[in-house]
């Protein structure tokens, strides 16, 4: 049974009910008031009075304004993300098979008609999020992609805007928050209503997506980002501490777990954490310290099998293995959003540039789902075709099952397809 060298202190009660009610009211007003309501919220909440649709001139200015090294880095990341998403797309293929003589069934893979990609603002400029969502929808073959991001000052952050355009957004909106989500879901500002909404955001954005889910698809129900590091005695405690601190800067509610079978490593990481967090700039440092105090845990296990069991129990968004025998860990671990194998494979690579998507399941959702991929924007649909050869057996089996279920109308439709003997031929007069 694992023990704790450090346990999470926990968080203050949340205001989930208030957020839920606020979002419900906003969505109702946006559904009825449409563009006028969206403009009103943009003015009041984001102090934005400029045009909602980003024009080509603004995109060109943004591209020219960013530093060449940042532009090159975004181009590099985009190429990796696109290539990975295209490889995912190629793994999904249509097929047709003859299940029995005369009974043919098949599969088609069809992209949704329109997607809405939300790029968050807030504490950080989430430039990489633009690449992750829009690029993936584009690789899936979605014909129209609307993207939005909160305007700040003169508009969307230039690097974020460059990334949105680079990734392939067809229309970009200067809208954030619930009004941005609603604009994409309801097809405001002459855009097609999104079939799928994706992208991370604050609690209001997440709640808006949750309330819209059903008629509209969403990537997932998102909670605070988290990280679990599995480390044995071979790990460098300074590197482990740095990786925990790096992810803790996401926000004060972000869980950070260290799972180890080496008590000395665990105690050394605990000793190093205050000084490691102090390396961050002041604002980031305060956030990371809050996250580590409230949500940080160091879990001591008996051996690597117990470590793996604990990792599967936590179902982390990011799971980083800094231990011997990486092949064993890759085969054994089953429950995570994305797996990072080896001390050199820091989670930040996946967050920004390596290729696999960084929109991942949180709050234990990795127990039943993976992260954002081209699959989210594709419908895997089936078809079937029956000829005379298969008809008698298929109709009889369907009728028997339907009668047993009490669904006699179903049985009648099957029996109507059974071959009938020809009418007797009348001879003479």
The least confident of 12-21, 23-32, 53-62, 363-372 is 12-21
Neighbours of 414 (CB within 10 A): 20
Which residue, 351, 324, 352, 325, is CA-closest to 337?
Answer: 351
| Confidence at residue 11, expressed as pLDDT on a 0 to 100 scale | 66
378-386, strands of its sheet edge to edge: 95-100, 103-111, 378-386
Residues 123 and 251 occupy one common structural domain: no
pLDDT band at 408 (very low <50, low <70, confident <90, very high): very high
* 403: in domain: yes
Structure tokens at 50: 């400029």
User: What mean pLDDT is reported for the chain?
Assistant: 95
Q: Is the pLDDT of residue 333 over 60?
A: yes
* 206: in domain: yes
Burial class of residue 339 (count of CB atoms within 10 Å of its CB; 0-12, 13-18, 19+): buried
CA torsion 274→277→278→279, rounded to 10°?
Answer: 140
Residues 95 and 210 occupy one common structural domain: yes
3-state secondary structure at position 390 = coil
What is the rounded CA–CA span in Å between residue 243 and residue 222? 22
* 426: in domain: no
Residues 210 and 229 occupy one common structural domain: no
| Cα–Cα separations (whole angstroms), residue 204 to 27, 182, 200, 210, 426 | 11, 12, 11, 10, 78
Residues 170 and 238 occupy one common structural domain: no
Number of domains in the chain: 3
Residues 258 and 127 occupy one common structural domain: no
Residues 138 and 269 occupy one common structural domain: no
Catalytic positions: 317-318
Burial class of residue 151 (count of CB atoms within 10 Å of its CB; 0-12, 13-18, 19+): buried
* 81: in domain: yes
* 5: in domain: no
Give bridge partners of residue 97 from the DSSP assignment. Answer: 105
What is the rounded CA–CA span in Å between residue 392 and residue 167? 53
| Confidence at residue 258, expressed as pLDDT on a 0 to 100 scale | 98
3-state secondary structure at position 298 = strand
* 6: in domain: no
Residues 72 and 212 occupy one common structural domain: yes
* 429: in domain: no
Q: Is the pLDDT of residue 49 over 80?
A: yes
Is residue 291 a contact partner of residue 251, using CB atoms and an 8 Å limit?
A: yes
Residues 111 and 169 occupy one common structural domain: yes
Is residue 108 a contact partner of residue 395, using CB atoms and an 8 Å limit?
A: no
Residues 184 and 328 occupy one common structural domain: no
| Confidence at residue 52, expressed as pLDDT on a 0 to 100 scale | 97
Q: Is the pLDDT of residue 423 over 90?
A: no
Residues 399 and 296 occupy one common structural domain: no
SS3 content of the chain, % helix, strand, coil (to 5): 50, 20, 35
* 4: in domain: no
What is the rounded CA–CA span in Å between residue 262 and residue 232? 6
Give bridge partners of residue 152 from the DSSP assignment. Answer: 155
Print the domain residue range for 36.
16-219+375-379
Q: Write the pLDDT tens digit of every residue in 167-193.
A: 999 999 999 999 999 999 999 999 999
3-state secondary structure at position 247 = helix
Rg (CA), the chain: 27
Q: Write the pLDDT tens digit of every residue in 112-152.
A: 999 999 999 877 788 999 999 999 999 999 999 999 999 98
CATH code for position 207: 3.40.50.1980
Which residue, 191, 262, 217, is CA-closest to 35?
Answer: 191
- Which pairing describes strands 3-6 and 296-300: parallel, antiparallel, or unpaired? antiparallel
Residues 66 and 36 occupy one common structural domain: yes
Residues 233 and 207 occupy one common structural domain: no
C-alpha distance across the termini of the chain, in Å: 95
């Amino acid at each position: 049974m694992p023990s704790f060298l450090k346990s999470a202190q926990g968080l203050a009660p949340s205001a989930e009910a208030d957020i839920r009610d606020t979002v419900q009211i906003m969505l109702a007003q946006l559904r009825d008031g449409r563009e006028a309501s969206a403009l009103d919220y943009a003015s009041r909440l984001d102090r934005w009075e400029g045009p909602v649709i980003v024009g080509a001139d603004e995109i060109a200015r943004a591209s020219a304004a960013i530093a060449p090294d940042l532009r090159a880095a975004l181009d590099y990341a985009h190429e990796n993300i696109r290539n990975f998403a295209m490889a995912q797309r190629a793994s999904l293929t249509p097929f047709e098979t003859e299940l029995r003589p005369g009974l043919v069934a098949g599969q088609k893979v069809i992209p949704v008609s329109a997607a809405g990609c939300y790029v968050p603002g807030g504490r950080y400029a989430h430039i990489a999020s633009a690449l992750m969502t829009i690029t993936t929808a584009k690789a899936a073959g979605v014909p129209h992609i609307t993207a939005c991001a909160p305007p700040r000052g003169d508009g969307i952050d230039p690097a974020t805007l460059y990334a949105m355009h680079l990734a392939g957004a067809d229309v970009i909106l200067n809208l954030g928050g619930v009004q941005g989500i609603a604009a994409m879901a309801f097809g405001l500002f002459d855009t097609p209503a999104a079939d799928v909404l994706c992208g991370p955001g604050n609690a209001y954005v997440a709640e808006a997506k949750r309330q819209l889910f059903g008629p509209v698809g969403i990537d997932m129900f998102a909670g605070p980002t988290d990280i679990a590091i599995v480390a044995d005695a071979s790990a460098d405690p300074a590197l482990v501490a740095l990786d925990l601190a790096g992810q803790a800067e996401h926000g004060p509610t972000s869980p950070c777990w260290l799972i180890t079978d080496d008590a000395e490593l665990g105690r050394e990481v605990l000793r190093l954490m205050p000084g490691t967090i102090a390396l961050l700039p002041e604002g980031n440092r305060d956030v990371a310290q809050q996250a580590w105090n409230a949500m940080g845990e160091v879990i001591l296990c008996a051996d690597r099998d117990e470590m793996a069991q604990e990792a599967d129990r936590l179902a982390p968004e990011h799971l980083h293995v800094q231990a011997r025998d990486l092949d064993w860990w890759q085969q054994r671990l089953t429950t995570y959003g994305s797996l990072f194998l080896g001390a050199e494979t820091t989670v930040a690579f996946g967050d920004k540039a390596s290729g696999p998507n960084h929109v991942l399941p949180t709050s234990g959702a990795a127990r039943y789902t993976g992260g954002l991929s081209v699959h989210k924007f594709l419908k895997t649909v089936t078809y079937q075709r029956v000829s005379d050869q298969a008809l008698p057996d298929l109709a009889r089996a369907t009728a028997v099952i339907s009668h047993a279920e009490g669904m006699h109308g179903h049985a009648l439709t099957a029996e109507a397809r059974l071959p009938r003997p020809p009418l007797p031929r009348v001879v003479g007069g």
